[in-house]
Structure 1
């Protein structure tokens, strides 16, 4: 089993743990309302951080969105760190997955599109994580929109690629699991976006926040399923990357067989050395001259 399996497992563990930690910090500092809260008001007499008592007055300004939880310090610092680190891991997973498909099968449009959407998603995640919602709303929404959309595209492309390359029963089962997760992710994204646009309904806005959390969890768990492929990753995958992602004409096993069957006699600099190393014994200068004058039948 390859140690690369740690990479797709570490991403959901790190991201899911990190964003829930950020939410817990925001909840402790009363920067957002709890996810369990379903009562919202048009306005409150005091701001949420200044309120005291077991019952809090919540408005849509304190909706428990993931990005809203990481808006104010100190949790905003951890949120930026989590998004930046997560983006790097996402890019690395996408690159290795791209190279592994080339190394084990061949390159295709789905594979190239998967790498492109993965890296664009990482760029959107960095933007959303480092431009907080309350201070750079436009940039934050652009980054979040790019990250969410490209995440959905990446999940869909990888699901189609899984079915295209599947040969064993386990690979088809993995495709079914990814297809189920893709459909749930799509439903969470579409419904969450639709409910978020209905600003007159507090209930739908809160459901939208919950669906955003569900979407993020599903996408991170989807990345975790790459542990199946990464457990069998070979050093040839890194060779593919060193060649710039170019696919070789023959599989690696064929190259090894060709190398093993190739003759071990290579032409040295001197004709006498050549004849000696290839089993001809010693030759003197007259012998060499005789060979050359007769057409070189026993020589080169």
Structure 2
């Protein structure tokens, strides 16, 4: 039964290790500037050692994975995390269905989770240096859907007794979902600004959002400790019931 705890841990681990490794490589090859850097220039001399930063080197997550060689690892990390996020969303929905409460809200949450995974997949495979529109579209879809997803899952935590530890998990997830929603709004506001100072702040918000989501996902190790493969049969039986209703 405790085997399934590996799913939220793997999801959080792949996202954290992958993104920060990409950031480290991009920083090492001077493709981006450090998050602690606040000084930008319009241009740098050709043989500069890397201490000079331009407005094209703002350390966003996607900016870290734009150039070779870190772009391949970036796509691989996002693809892995997107797949695991979709699986996480479906499996958690199966767990909710097993309790026979708030099935509709859980289904809505699953849809948002799957859309967030699809958006991240699009953003990860459309290099912002070449396919900026598709990359931004995928990223926007992912950010917005993740907000709805975390809010709905937090609501379900207060309504579904899956572990008996909801009295501890619920307030923690309220904090995570509140941070996710608030920082997403602020991120969008600052990202749309032309001033480099505000865009650098948006980059910090973006990394904070990523870490906040990873902690939110990690908190579901408690639910998945009580998950069993038999719960997946609920999805299949529910689909059979819907098919029977449609045919009749």
* TM-score for the superposition, normalised by structure 2: 0.92
Greater relative CO (CA pairs within 8 A, separation 6+): 2
CA drift at 1:199? 1.0
Query: Is this contact kept in 1: 2:163–2:222, CA < 8 A?
Result: no
Q: Check the 8 A contact 1:22/1:70 in 2, yes or no.
A: yes
Structure 2 segments unaligned to the other structure (5+ residues): 242-248
Aligned to 1:51: 48
- Residue number in structure 2 paired with 1:289: none
Report what 2:64 is aligned to: 69
What's the secondary structure of 1:180's corresponding residue? Answer: helix
Which range is displaced more, 188-197 or 135-144? Answer: 188-197
By how many angstroms is 1:85 displaced?
Answer: 0.8
Check 1:24–1:168 CA distance in 2 against 1; reply closer, same or farther (3 A cut).
closer
**Partners of 1:195 and 1:205 within 8 A in 2:** yes
Q: What does 1:210-229 align with in structure 2 at a 5 Å threshold?
A: 210-229=204-223
Whole-angstrom distance in 1 between the partners of 2:129 and 2:151 = 32
Q: Is the 8 A contact 1:12 1:220 kept in 2?
A: yes
Provide Cα deviations, 1:197-248, integer angstroms capped at 9, x if missing partner. Answer: 2212x3221111011000011112111111111101134302113324578x
Seen in structure 2, the aligned counterparts of structure 1 residues 239 and 175 have a Cα distance that, compared at 3 Å, is same
Deviation (angstroms), 1:191 = 1.3
Moved more, 227-236 or 155-164: 227-236
Aligned residues: 241
Q: Deviations over 1:101-145 (max 9, x none)?
A: 011233522101100001000110010000011110000000000
Q: Conserved in 2, the CA contact under 8 Å of 1:240 and 1:246?
A: no
Is 1:142 matched with 2:109?
no
Q: Is residue 99–residue 245 contact of structure 1 (8 Å, CA) maintained in 2?
A: no
Identify which of 185, 193, 203 aligns with 1:190: 185
Name the SS for the 1:73 alignment partner: coil
225, 231, 242: which one pairs with 1:231?
Answer: 225
1:98 and 1:168 mapped to 2: Cα distance? 15
Mapped to 2, the partners of 1:35 and 1:11 lie a distance apart of: 24
Q: Which residue of 1 aligns with 2:31?
A: 31
Is 1:155 aligned to residue 150 of structure 2? yes
191-200 or 88-97, which deviates more: 191-200
Per the TM alignment, residue 43 of structure 1 is displaced from its structure 2 partner at its CA by: 2.9
The CA distance in 1 between the partners of 2:103 and 2:165, in whole Å, is 22
Do the aligned partners of 2:101 and 2:160 also contact (CA within 8 Å) in 1? no
After superposition, the CA RMSD in angstroms is 1.8
**1:17 counterpart residue number:** 17
Over 3 Å counting, the alpha-carbon distance change for 1:244 and 1:207 in structure 2 is: same
Counterpart check, 1:117 vs 2:112: yes
Q: Are residues 66 and 167 of structure 1, via their aligned partners in 2, closer, same or farther at CA, if it must alter by over 3 Å?
A: closer
1:185 Cα deviation (Å)?
A: 1.2
After alignment, is 231-240 or 32-41 more displaced?
Answer: 231-240
The structure having more radius of gyration, on CA atoms, is 1
Contact 1:44/1:57 (<8 A) preserved: yes
